[in-house]
Structure 1
Amino acid sequence: MPRNRSGRSVIQSAIDIKRWQQQPPTVVEARPARCPVCGAASCPLGGAIRLQGHGRRERQVWGPTSPDQPPEVLSVTARRYRCLDCGAVLLVVPRGVLGLRVYSAAAIGFALALWGLVLATAAEVRRRVGPAKILGDSAVAGWATLRRWARDVAQRRLFSDAPDPGPSASLRKRAAAVATSLAASADPTTRALPIEQRAFFGAARAA
């Protein structure tokens, strides 16, 4: 289970970002079945609730909400819980929101597919995925974040279930390998879409 620097466990809900925004879940609907830290059941039969609501927290999510839409900055209200057994504080977020990353999993998968499979330039990938409108001189022609994601893939810190293309593979080839895997994991109803769009939807499922 991913953890952030303050020690909270980040748990992805089965609810996607769009549905979460349209109708945020109640404290009951978003409550995990058990604590991922100690394993305690959240609502043991005949007992008191062990994962108690602990407020809410706003999270920014960057990137397009669908592959044919422009990138934007969204704000989602995550739900927090505290485990009475071990004291862990849990943050429940929509499916596709990643701990320690402001970009959605779908946006990252889309970016890697554009760069690795479509062979778009880093600047073009940034235009289609990054919401920032004002860029420094060094950022106009490239995007350091894109290469950082590819390195994270290589080091198994991102989409760790994707196949490894081998130690000699370039970052772009690694991006292509993980994007191909993500596209393959997308819902079968997306098969008619271009592969970079299927990687978008597959990343949201695989995160």
Structure 2
Amino acid sequence: MSISPRKRFSGEAIAFALALWALCGLGADEVRQRTSDWRRQGDAARGWRSLTRWARQLRARQLFGALHLGAVADGPRAVTARAAQALCEHAPLAWRSAPLAHQAFAGARHVS
């Protein structure tokens, strides 16, 4: 497992968070609580700006650049949902019955 430059989370953790947000429909607060144990202060106590930043990076192919997303509707959740689906497709067969967020986590290990 590796952490990308200038990122505080592994690709697997990012994939997990994105799937929780875009595929499972959880709010940013809930996703952050399930994914990060970092202490939140001030404005950071509400929401999680990293989710939309990661969505922008997905669109620009700066995050999980090997994924082929095809045509995607506008909006951060739409881009993120397509990427999370693509990550799930890369999960090993043994993971296919796992929850979607777990499949995305496993799939991220196979995407550069």
TM over 0.5: yes
Counterpart pick for 2:23 among 117, 127, 134? 117
Higher-helix-fraction structure = 2
Structure 2 length-normalised TM: 0.90
Aligned to 1:179: 84
CA contact (8 A) 1:154 1:164 kept: no
List structure 1 runs of 4+ shifted beyond 6 angstroms: none
Matched ranges for 1:121-200 at <5 A: 121-133=27-39, 135-162=40-67, 163-166=69-72, 168-200=73-105
Any gaps of 5 or more consecutive residues in structure 2?
none
The secondary structure found in structure 2 opposite 1:160 is: coil
Structure 1 length-normalised TM: 0.51
> 1:152 & 1:164 partners in 2: Cα distance?
15
> 1:110 & 1:116 partners in 2: Cα distance?
10
- Tell me which amino acid in the other structure corresponds to 2:37: P
Aligned to 1:98: 4
The secondary structure found in structure 1 opposite 2:98 is: coil
Higher-strand-fraction structure = 1
RMSD: 1.4
> 1:164 & 1:136 partners in 2: Cα distance?
38
Matched ranges for 1:58-97 at <5 A: 96-97=2-3
- Tell me which amino acid in the other structure corresponds to 1:108: I
More moved, 150-159 vs 97-106: 97-106
Aligned to 1:23: none
* Greater Rg over alpha carbons, structure: 1
- Percent sequence identity over aligned pairs: 33
Any gaps of 5 or more consecutive residues in structure 1?
1-16, 18-95
Per-residue Cα deviation, 1:134-163 (whole angstroms, up to 9, x for no partner): x12322221111110011001110012221
Q: How many residues align?
A: 111
